[in-house]
Amino acid sequence: MKNINPFNSKFSIAAIALFIAFGFTACKKDSDVSPTIAQVAVTMPGFSQLEAAAIRGGVAVVLSNKNAGDPSGAFTVFAPTNDAFAKLGLVNPQDLNVLQKSFLTNVLLYHVNNGNTLQTSLTGGASVSSLLVTPPPATPVTKRIINRNGEFFVNGSKILATNVKADNGTIHVIDRVLLASGANIAQTTIFFAEGKGFVNPELTYLLEAVLYCDLAGALSDANAKYTVFAPTNQAFRDLGQLLGVPLNQPSDIRKLPKATVTQVLLTHVFNLSGGGKFTSELNAGTITALNDQVVTLGAYTNGYLTVKGRGNSTAANMAIPDVQTTNGVVHVIDRVLLPQ
C-alpha cells in the first residue's frame, strides 16, 4: 500500500501538499504552526460533509487541539470523503439530520484513535483501536485492517490515501463511512428499531421476528462471531406482498407460522470461518447458513455484493454494509432471503 494510492481515487500527494502549503499561509505567518486535523479536513477538497458531521457531532473542537489523552498529543483519523457519506444517502449537511446526534458522535469517534498510527502499521490482519467504547466494562471498539489482493481496507472501507500529516496527528482517507454499534447483534437491532440510530426507526420488523422466534439469546452470544444479513422494514413489507399476507406493521409477522419465520431468519445468519466478515473479506460464491441453507453471493463490485437465497427469484442488494458489532458483522439488505 503506497502512501497515496492513485487508483480509483481523486487524491494525489501533490494536491494534498498544495492545500496544506498554501491553504494555511496566513496561519503559518501568524503562529508558525502546522494546520490541525480539523483544518486539514476543511481545506482539502471533498471533505465538506465530514466537516459538517464533525461540527454537528461535537468533535470538531476536539480535532482542532492536541490530544490530551495521549502522550504524543496526536490523533489518527480515518477520514471519509463526501462520496463515502453519499453512499449512505448523506449528500448535504442537512441530510445528517436523519441521524440521531449521539449516534453521529459515536460514528465519528469510531474513526479516531489515540496516537499516530502510520501506514506502516496498516498491515493485513492488524487491529486499530478507536475512541468509541462499549458499555461498561468500557473497552475500545477496534477496526480491522484487511489486505484484499494487494489493496488495503479498514473493515469494508478502502484506504485511498495515507499519512496526511497534521499538527495534532495523522489522516488516512477512506471511501466509506465506518459503522460500529459497540453492542451485540441483538442489542444493535433493538438500538435501530427504537430510533436511536436513525431518527426514523429501522429493523423493527426484524426485531419483531427475532423476538417471535426466540432468537435474541442466540444473537446476544458473546462467544459468537456471526455474519448477518439484516432485511430492512420495506424488505419485510415486500415479502408480505409476495406471500399474500399483508405485513403492514411489525406485529403482523406473527401471522406467519413460527417455524417458517424461524427458518427464514436462520437463512440470514452465518458462522463463517474466521468470524464475522466485512464485504472486503467476502467473495462471489456460496455460503451456508446456520440452518444449512445455501446462499449465493454475487461478484464483489465497488465494495458491495448481492445476496440470494435459493428461494429468491431476485438477489438482495446491500443497503448499509459492514456494521461492526461485538459479536459479528451486520449487512443491511433490501430483500428477505428465502430458503429453498
Structural domains of the chain sorted by starting position, each given as residue range(s) with its CATH number in brackets: 13-180 (2.30.180.10), 185-333 (2.30.180.10)
Which among 99, 82, 190, 182 has a CA at the least distance from the CA of 134? 182
β-sheet bridge partners, residue 288: 294
Determine what percent of the chain is predicted with pLDDT higher than 70.
Answer: 90
DSSP, collapsed to helix, strand or coil, labels residue 162 as strand
Query: How far, in Å, CA of 310 to CA of 215, rounded?
Result: 22
Residue 260, SS3 per DSSP: helix
User: How far is Cα of residue 320 from the mean position of the Cα atoms in its chain?
Assistant: 7
Query: Which of 164, 142, 163 is closest to 154 using CA atoms?
Result: 142
Q: Which three cell numbers stand for residue 208?
A: 419483531
- Helical H runs in the chain? 13-23, 25-31, 37-43, 48-56, 82-86, 101-110, 185-193, 204-212, 216-219, 233-243, 258-266
CA angle 80, 81, 87 (to 5 degrees): 85
Direct distance between the N- and C-terminal alpha carbons of the chain, in angstroms, rounded to an integer: 42
Q: Is 95 left (phi over 0), alpha (psi -120 to 50) or beta?
A: alpha
Give the separation between CA 216 and CA 214, rounded to whole angstroms: 6
- Averaged pLDDT, 64-75: 96
Structural contact between residues 88 and 202, judged by C-beta atoms closer than 8 angstroms: no
Close Cβ partners of 166 (under 8 Å, ≥ 6 residues apart)? 34, 35, 36, 37, 39, 40
Sign of CA dihedral 63, 68, 73, 78: negative
The answer to whether the CB of 293 falls within 8 A of the CB of 148 is no
Closest to 267 (Cα-Cα) out of 237, 234, 307: 307
Residue 152: what pLDDT? 98
**Total residues found in the chain within this entry:** 340
Closest CA to 271 of 324, 218, 235: 218
Q: How far apart are CA 125 and CA 179, in angstroms?
A: 19
Mean pLDDT rounded to a whole number for the chain: 91
Whole-model pTM? 0.91
State the average pLDDT over residues 194-217: 98
What pLDDT digit, counting tens, does each position of 6-63 carry? Answer: 323 444 433 443 343 333 333 444 445 689 999 998 888 899 999 999 999 999 999 9
Report cis status (omega within 30 of 0) of the bond before 135.
no
pLDDT in tens, 134-188: 988 889 999 999 999 999 999 999 999 999 999 999 999 999 999 999 999 999 9
Q: Residue 58 and residue 48: Cα distance in Å, rounded? A: 15
Q: For residue 67, give the nearest of 24, 109, 16, 23 by alpha carbon.
A: 109
CB 287 within 8 A of CB 295: yes
Q: What percentage of the chain reaches a pLDDT higher than 90?
A: 87
